[in-house]
Amino acid sequence: MELRIKKIPPEEAEVLEIRCHKLTDDVAEIISFVKSRQGQLSTECDGQKREIPIVDVFYAESVDNRLFIYTAKESYEVRLRLYELEEMLKGRTFLRVQKGVLLNLMKIRSIRPALGGRYTALLKNEEEVVISRKYVTDLKNALKGGES
């Protein structure tokens, strides 16, 4: 695919146009990336496509090579890899807390011990997500004012 970038004057609206023969997975991924940068994630639920605001996402979990995001009550599949989503959400309030889980720190109500150096994050929708021992230091640093 040829890539063209054209600089425009400030008074013109910025447009990203994709010209393709077919909506392939690669194109869908590019669209998903652009939407995530605009604060939305392209998802699928029961075969229907939906745009979910990133601020509504509680956490994302990779299950059997499929990625799901969870809002307060629903779950949706995202056609991305976890590391891709992590990269997209860099600088936002998301942090890896397990090998396969990205957690929105703004959705944590409280943290409590879970034994073995692990902790449980109690979320605002009453769900619980375990924080692996390996990621506890990262979490502390993020909460103290580091990245995320």
Partner 1 sequence: MRIKERLGEAFRLYFILVTLITVLLMVLGLLFDSDRTFGYEVFVSPLVYAAVGVIPVFFFKPDKEISMKAMILRRVIQELAVEAAILLIVFNAPSIPSERTEVVIAIAAGVLVVFVLAMIVEYIFELTQANEMNRYLEEYHKRKQE
Alpha helices by DSSP H, the chain: 25-37, 82-88, 136-144
- In the list 4, 7, 19, 112, the residue contacting partner 1 (rule: CB under 8 A) is 112
Those residues with Cβ within 8 angstroms of residue 123's Cβ, 6 or more apart along the chain or in another chain: 58, 59, 107, 108, 109, 129
Interaction residues for partner 1, span 35-94 (CB under 8 A)? 93
116 binds partner 1 (CB under 8 A): yes
Q: How far is it, in rounded angstroms, from Cα 127 to Cα 51?
A: 23
- In the list 9, 47, 91, 113, the residue contacting partner 1 (rule: CB under 8 A) is 113
Interaction residues for partner 1, span 127-146 (CB under 8 A)? 128, 130, 132-134, 136, 139-140, 142-145
Contact between 119 and 131 under an 8 Å Cβ cutoff? The reply is yes
- Residues within the interface to partner 1 (CB under 8 A): 93, 98-99, 105-106, 108, 110-120, 128, 130, 132-134, 136, 139-140, 142-145
